[in-house]
């Protein structure tokens, strides 16, 4: 165990390691410091979390009344390579807030008390290493206090309004009136959680002000089997478009928002829909860095089960509002659209190589009794349903002609090595058409490999759907993607000819 008064050195390049830690987060370091410090306080069973700034000392001070740290916990807290948290044990990540804070700090002071054990330390830089010196703790009651003495005099961590906004963004469910009651009712935080910023208790608040909401609802989330309530959700349709970071359903666990999720829905007003879904059991399926949920293996399967329960409630609410785009249409539309585009491509050589039509062709197939000869060629296969099994594989399938994948096929030559016979196959050239819901992409359509993607989350698609013109929009969007992907110089002129060909069908 570390001895009081002894100086301890990190022994590694702390600057590089802390930068790597900070880089795993998509938000700013200041947010990481606050979010992770609060997460560790909640993991320590705190009931109150005080967040204060001292502009004169240029310091951020976070204090909680949680369980405090033991001597071993305190030593691990200072060990940059130590992670005492495991998946499912909480929403924080090994004291990361205090550690990453060194990116912004000249010194970090920590005091903690558990029972009769009171510990303290001063932590600062020495070159590229971090050194800390243990001292007598100053906490009179059980809990932990972390003081970050900042290098810069101007920092959002010294701004009470910014601190309050950051808490609302990342821990909003803990401030939402109905959600707060749910945490107490479910025993997640039996005594509730109170935030104090700048000496002022944060009052409960709704996700959106009443004047900004067109429609909203609270929904219970049930277990995959049975009627046991395992969580609660709040969904809202705003009167005006929301900031992109608020769109979708915020999946939260133990009060911490992990990520926003479209839940696989296709709402007409995607830019105005938001909400929270709190499922405490999701904490068991957090990734090690607590930034997302595991989506593979047995834990991933259980996570998806819980997510599906949220999805059901969200889909039901959207259906009540008449907001969810008909899923059946999303499945039917591409087949009809592919047939139309195939007919258009027949008369436009610039598109024909991208998107052709199905046709019966005679292709060489290996046969010992065959009268023809061919040679094995490696290249692009253009026939649907073929494989890249070499034709020399006895009894194996063979790639009879052109298709979407790289592989081997046969080409007829007068003196080839492979005896063949002609066989009839149906071939299809070029991309398929898929409807996808991608709110984070600005394009209404795009071409990727052998597929045209039409974005049902694009504002133009949503408006066309409302006005009953979605099928026409799909045609235009698909043709725009194809013409953009053509090799011609004048893509606009090609689009005009493509639309003309469609109009004459």
The answer on pLDDT for 405 being more than 90 is: no
459 and 391 share one domain: no
The pLDDT of residue 351 is 75
The answer on pLDDT for 356 being more than 60 is: no
Average confidence score pLDDT of the chain: 82
Beta carbons within 8 Å of 202's beta carbon, 6+ residues apart: 164, 167, 175, 194, 195, 196
The pLDDT of residue 94 is 62
d(CA 355, CA 27): 42
Domain's final residue, options 125, 158, 191: 158
The answer on pLDDT for 384 being more than 60 is: no
44 and 106 share one domain: yes
The pLDDT of residue 424 is 65
CA angle 132, 136, 138 (to 5 degrees): 110
Supply the DSSP string of 395-417, one letter for each residue.
TS----S--SSEEEEEEE-TT-S
312 and 234 share one domain: yes
What are the angstrom distances between the C-alpha of 335 and each of 327, 354, 501? 14, 17, 19
The pLDDT of residue 227 is 83
Tokens of 394: 């006895």
338 and 295 share one domain: no
The pLDDT of residue 2 is 53
Asked whether the beta carbons of 14 and 129 are under 8 A apart, the reply is: yes
Domain's final residue, options 376, 396, 427: 427
Residues of the domain holding 405: 365-427
CATH number reported for the structural domain that contains residue 293 in this entry: 3.30.230
391 and 449 share one domain: no
d(CA 241, CA 208): 12
| 449 pLDDT tier (thresholds 50, 70, 90) | low
For residue 269, tell me if it sits in a domain.
Answer: yes
375 and 435 share one domain: no
Q: Is 19 left (phi over 0), alpha (psi -120 to 50) or beta?
A: alpha
Phi, psi (deg, nearest 5) at residue 498:
-65, -40
The pLDDT of residue 329 is 56
The pLDDT of residue 484 is 84
Q: Mean pLDDT across the stretch 357-377?
A: 70
CATH number reported for the structural domain that contains residue 103 in this entry: 3.30.565.10
For residue 435, tell me if it sits in a domain.
Answer: yes
Asked whether the beta carbons of 413 and 451 are under 8 A apart, the reply is: no
Query: Across the beta sheet with 7-9, what order do the strands follow?
Result: 7-9, 129-136, 117-126, 105-114, 143-150, 59-64, 48-54, 194-197, 200-201
What are the angstrom distances between the C-alpha of 500 and each of 3, 77, 444? 84, 69, 21
For residue 334, tell me if it sits in a domain.
Answer: yes
For residue 215, tell me if it sits in a domain.
Answer: yes
CATH number reported for the structural domain that contains residue 487 in this entry: 3.30.2010
438-465 b/e (C-beta count within 10 Å ≥ 16 → b): ebeeeebbbbeebbbbbbbbbeebbebb
Q: Mean pLDDT across the stretch 445-449?
A: 78
Half-sphere exposure of 20 (CA within 13 A, CB side): 7
The answer on pLDDT for 354 being more than 70 is: no
The answer on pLDDT for 383 being more than 50 is: no
Q: Tokens 């880089």 map to which residue?
A: 23
| Cα 492 → chain centroid | 35
38 and 139 share one domain: yes
State the pairing for strand pair 194-197/48-54: parallel
Asked whether the beta carbons of 59 and 147 are under 8 A apart, the reply is: yes
The answer on pLDDT for 397 being more than 60 is: no
The pLDDT of residue 248 is 92
For residue 373, tell me if it sits in a domain.
Answer: yes
465 and 409 share one domain: no
What 48-54 contacts at long range (C-beta under 8 Å, 24+ apart), as own/partner pairs, is: 48/193, 48/194, 48/196, 49/193, 49/194, 49/195, 49/196, 50/196, 50/199, 51/163, 51/167, 51/195, 51/196, 51/197, 51/198, 52/197, 52/198, 52/199, 53/157, 53/158, 53/159, 53/160, 53/163, 53/198
| pLDDT tens, position by position, 157-188 | 999 999 999 999 999 999 998 889 889 988 89
301 and 371 share one domain: no
For residue 176, tell me if it sits in a domain.
Answer: no
Beta carbons within 8 Å of 499's beta carbon, 6+ residues apart: 476, 479
Q: How many domains does the chain have?
A: 4
For residue 408, tell me if it sits in a domain.
Answer: yes
302 and 437 share one domain: no
390 and 495 share one domain: no
For residue 191, tell me if it sits in a domain.
Answer: no
Q: Tokens 């469609």 map to which residue?
A: 502
Asked whether the beta carbons of 219 and 317 are under 8 A apart, the reply is: yes
d(CA 97, CA 29): 9
Which DSSP category does 285 fall into?
A: G
Q: Mean pLDDT across the stretch 101-113?
A: 93
User: Which of these, 191, 111, 99, 170, lies nearest to 145 by C-alpha position?
Assistant: 111
297 and 258 share one domain: yes
Domain's final residue, options 158, 191, 220: 158
State the pairing for strand pair 372-380/418-427: antiparallel
| Cα 119 → chain centroid | 39
User: Which of these, 142, 31, 21, lies nearest to 93 by C-alpha position?
Assistant: 21
| 431 pLDDT tier (thresholds 50, 70, 90) | low
| pLDDT tens, position by position, 10-38 | 767 888 888 887 787 778 899 999 999 99
Phi, psi (deg, nearest 5) at residue 472:
-65, -40
| pLDDT tens, position by position, 203-255 | 998 878 778 999 999 999 999 887 899 999 999 999 999 988 889 999 999 99
d(CA 152, CA 503): 65
């Amino acid at each position: 165990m570390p001895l009081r008064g002894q100086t301890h050195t990190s022994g590694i390049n702390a600057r590089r390691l802390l930068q790597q830690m900070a880089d795993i987060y998509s938000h700013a370091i200041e947010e990481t410091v606050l979010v992770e410090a609060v997460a560790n306080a909640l993991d320590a069973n705190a009931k109150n979390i005080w967040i204060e700034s001292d502009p004169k000392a240029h310091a951020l001070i976070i204090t909680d009344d949680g369980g405090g740290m033991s001597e071993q916990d305190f030593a691990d807290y200072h060990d940059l390579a130590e992670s005492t948290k495991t998946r499912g044990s909480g929403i924080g990540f090994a004291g990361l807030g205090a550690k990453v804070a060194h990116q912004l700090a000249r010194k970090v002071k920590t005091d903690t008390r558990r029972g009769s054990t009171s510990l303290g330390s001063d932590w600062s830089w020495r070159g590229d290493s971090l050194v800390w010196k243990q001292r007598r703790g100053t906490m009179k009651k059980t809990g932990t206090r972390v003081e970050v003495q900042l290098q810069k005099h101007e920092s959002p961590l010294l701004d009470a309004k910014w601190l309050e906004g950051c808490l609302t963004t990342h821990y909003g469910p803990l401030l939402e009136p109905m959600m707060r009651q749910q945490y107490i009712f479910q025993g997640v935080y039996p005594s509730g959680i109170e935030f104090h910023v700048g000496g002022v208790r944060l009052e409960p608040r709704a996700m959106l002000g009443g004047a900004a909401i067109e429609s909203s609802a609270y929904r219970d989330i049930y277990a995959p089997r049975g009627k046991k309530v395992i969580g609660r959700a709040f969904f809202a349709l705003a009167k005006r478009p929301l900031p992109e970071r608020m769109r979708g359903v915020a999946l939260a666990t133990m009060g911490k928002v992990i990520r926003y999720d479209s839940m696989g829905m296709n709402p007409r007003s995607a830019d105005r829909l938001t909400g929270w879904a709190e499922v405490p059991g999701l904490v068991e399926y957090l990734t090690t860095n607590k930034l997302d949920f595991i989506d593979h293996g047995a834990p991933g399967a259980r996570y998806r089960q819980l997510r599906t329960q949220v999805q059901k409630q969200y889909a039901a609410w959207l259906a009540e509002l008449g907001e969810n785009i008909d899923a059946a249409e999303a499945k039917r539309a591409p087949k009809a659209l592919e047939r139309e585009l195939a007919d258009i491509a027949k008369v436009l050589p610039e598109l024909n190589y991208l998107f052709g039509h199905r046709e019966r062709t005679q292709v060489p197939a290996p046969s010992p009794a065959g009268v023809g000869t061919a040679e094995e060629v490696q290249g692009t296969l253009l026939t649907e349903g073929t494989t890249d099994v070499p034709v020399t594989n006895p009894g194996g399938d063979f790639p009879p002609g052109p298709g979407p994948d790289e592989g081997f096929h046969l080409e007829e030559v007068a003196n080839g090595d492979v005896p063949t016979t002609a066989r009839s196959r149906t071939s299809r050239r070029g991309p398929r058409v898929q409807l996808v819901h991608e709110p984070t992409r600005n394009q209404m359509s795009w071409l990727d490999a052998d597929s045209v993607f039409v974005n049902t989350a694009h504002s133009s698609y949503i408006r066309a759907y409302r006005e009953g013109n979605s099928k026409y929009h799909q045609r235009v969007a698909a043709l725009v993607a194809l013409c953009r992907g053509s090799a011609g110089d004048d893509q606009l002129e090609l689009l005009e000819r493509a639309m003309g060909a469609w109009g004459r069908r």
